[in-house]
Amino acid sequence: MDVKNIAILGSTGSIGTQTLDIVEEYPHRFKVVALTAGHRWQLLAEQARKFLPEVVVTGYEEHLPMLREALKDLPIRVEAGAQAIAVAAALPNVDMVVTAMVGYSGLLPTISAIEAGKTIALANKETLVVAGELITRMLANSKSTIVPVDSEHSAIFQCLEGEDTREARKILLTASGGPFRTLSRSQLENVTPADALRHPNWDMGAKVTIDSASMMNKGFEMIEAHWLFGCPPDKIEVVVHPQSIVHSMVEFNDGSIKAQLGVPDMHLPIRYALGYPERLETMTPPLSLAQYHTLTFEAPDMEKFPLLEYAFDAIHIGGNMPCVLNAANERAVENFLKGRLRFVDMPVAVRRTMERVPFSTVHDLQTLIDTNAEASAIACEEIDRLAI
């Protein structure tokens, strides 16, 4: 059986560490060729010692001396910087690139992987939020393919397997609702970063967990689903499902609905993406429906969580507006986590930024780079006005 060589971009984060769990589960199926990470260079060094990749990259030059010292007795090439990460994504002997970096930083390495014709296990939703139109054009002219890793998009992908996509009428994108689903608007004014980081169902990194609490994450997933599956935004319905057992559904033109169910554990969609088109057998206990005698569904409250509505606005406007949305949200989340911005003021900062950054069509990558820089600067100005 052929061994699949993989590069994991963002190996020290939640998705990255769980991907390495899968590699350990199937040691004869996967070989780690490259690992990249951000600030957590000590954990990156531990992973490198365990999995012995050919290349290890830290995104930050200041960590390079320590990382090289930690691995000096091993035959591992140690590099640093964004360009080195992009190079790692395009290594000739890499079969699959797992893009588990968080935020805008995942865009350039993903583009590098597409240009090199790699199979991409996509866990960086911001790539398609920021550059969906550009990425779609690139994929059309490349042998590269994307297998989604997000649990919702993996579910949709699985529901569409073997189907004529022209017969799909609607995507039903499920959302847990996050930790603040039942709070009132006045209660939301007093929530803290610690409150927002306590997700009821999922174990995720800080950025994704805050986005889940604000429902921005679901807005991003809606935009991602639009590009991944060629589905118009008005045919994507967000449904709050607090139990997180139904990971998403597809409604077909005969009225039938297909759903993918499973325990709320990211190992499942990661395993599916790594093994695709094969389903890898596992000893992990499956879902027991007897434990979940009640599964509920409800509409999202866009008045309490306006960022979800702004995501629909951004994709309807098109052009560079989803890039503006993402940049503003990244700055808002950073400042909320630092205690400088209230939870309820994050949408205010995002909306004001969307109103100030000029609209433009997206012709190339430079347009997006310029938009991201401008939107980030304007968002910081708005956050300074709102700061606690």
Side chain identity, residue 46: E
Report how far residue 127's alpha carbon sits from residue 267's, in angstroms, rounded to the nearest whole number.
21
Report how far residue 238's alpha carbon sits from residue 261's, in angstroms, rounded to the nearest whole number.
17
* DSSP H/E element including 76: none
At residue 98, what are phi and psi to the nearest 5 degrees? -95, 110
The residue assigned the tokens 């209230």 is 342
Cross-strand bridge partners of residue 229: none
**CA atoms 250, 107, 336, 371: torsion sign:** negative
Looking at residue 298, the DSSP 8-state letter turns out to be B
Cross-strand bridge partners of residue 7: 34, 97
Report how far residue 250's alpha carbon sits from residue 156's, in angstroms, rounded to the nearest whole number.
7
The half-sphere exposure of 206 on its side-chain side, counting CA atoms within 13 A, is 10
Res 284: pLDDT: 86
Largest CA distance in the chain: 62
Residue 362 · residue 340 · CB < 8 Å: no
pLDDT tens for each residue of 152-176: 999 999 999 999 999 999 999 999 9
Least Cα distance to 104 among 8, 178, 38, 14 occurs for 38
Least Cα distance to 310 among 199, 220, 176, 201 occurs for 220
pLDDT tens for each residue of 328-371: 999 999 999 999 999 999 999 999 999 999 999 988 999 999 99
No. of helices (H) and no. of strands (E), the chain: 16, 11
Cross-strand bridge partners of residue 30: 4
Report how far residue 124's alpha carbon sits from residue 110's, in angstroms, rounded to the nearest whole number.
9
Query: Where do the DSSP E strands lie in 55-181?
Result: 55-58, 77-80, 96-99, 119-122, 145-148, 168-175
Cβ atoms < 10 Å from Cβ of 296: 8
Res 198: pLDDT: 85
Alpha-carbon distances of 228 from 77, 96, 103, 185, rounded to whole Å: 34, 18, 18, 34
Res 388: pLDDT: 84
Side chain identity, residue 223: I
Start-end of H helices in 90-240: 107-115, 126-140, 151-160, 185-188, 193-196, 206-214, 216-229
Q: Residue 172: helix, strand or coil by DSSP?
A: strand
Distance of CA 183 to the CA centre of its chain: 26
Residue 326 · residue 220 · CB < 8 Å: yes
Res 1: pLDDT: 63
Residue 305 · residue 214 · CB < 8 Å: yes
Report how far residue 132's alpha carbon sits from residue 121's, in angstroms, rounded to the nearest whole number.
16
pLDDT tens for each residue of 38-49: 999 999 999 999
Rounded to two decimals, the pTM is 0.94
Query: Would you give per-residue pLDDT tens digits along the chain (388 residues)?
Result: 689 999 999 999 999 999 999 999 999 999 999 999 999 999 999 999 999 999 999 999 999 999 999 999 999 999 999 999 999 999 999 999 999 998 888 999 999 999 999 999 999 999 999 999 999 999 999 999 999 999 999 999 999 999 999 999 999 999 999 889 999 999 999 999 999 998 776 667 789 899 999 999 999 999 999 999 999 999 999 999 999 999 999 999 999 999 999 999 999 999 999 999 999 999 888 898 888 889 999 999 999 999 999 999 999 999 999 999 999 999 999 999 999 999 999 999 999 999 999 999 988 999 999 999 999 999 999 999 999 8
Q: Which domains does the chain have, with CATH numbers?
A: 4-148 (3.40.50.720), 165-264+301-386 (1.10.1740.10)
* DSSP H/E element including 31: strand 30-37
Cβ atoms < 10 Å from Cβ of 141: 9
